[in-house]
Structure 1
């Protein structure tokens, strides 16, 4: 699959968002990051992805779905998420 050239900082923010979302979905255990901390991180990362300057370009070559797909493919290749 051909991936569009997203900026590295946008890809990193989306990867962090995906990891944070997955962590928030897991049951909380004693000593783990509290859900409030995770929700705040998720909000901050959502803003970083949504308001990234890449999306302000006149007509981005790729949409947000392509960004998410690229991140998931990279995480699968590293064994971070199930296929």
Structure 2
């Protein structure tokens, strides 16, 4: 069963992924490391995780999957 994440949580995950990819290309960028830490904190402290669904590994995996899907749909030409 697919979970329903709030759009702001999916957007934050998308930003986290983009930042992680940028950091992988240029590993010695302190500003990217700080941004990644900030986004990680925002994801971890999001109110969604306080709901009855819990912080399971499956939920985090599904969040990443939905963020990647949203990213690929946005990049796809119309």
Higher relative contact order (CA 8 A, sep 6+): 2
Partner residue of 1:71?
67
Report the structure, 1 or 2, having the larger helix content.
2
Coordinate RMSD, CA, aligned = 2.2
Partners of 2:37 and 2:22 in 1: how far apart? 14
Q: Which runs of 5 or more residues in structure 2 are unaligned? A: none
Q: Tell whether the 8 Å contact from 1:16 to 1:45 is kept in structure 2 after alignment.
A: yes
- Tell which structure's C-alpha radius of gyration is larger: 1
Q: Which runs of 5 or more residues in structure 1 are unaligned? A: 29-33
TM-score normalised to structure 1 length: 0.75
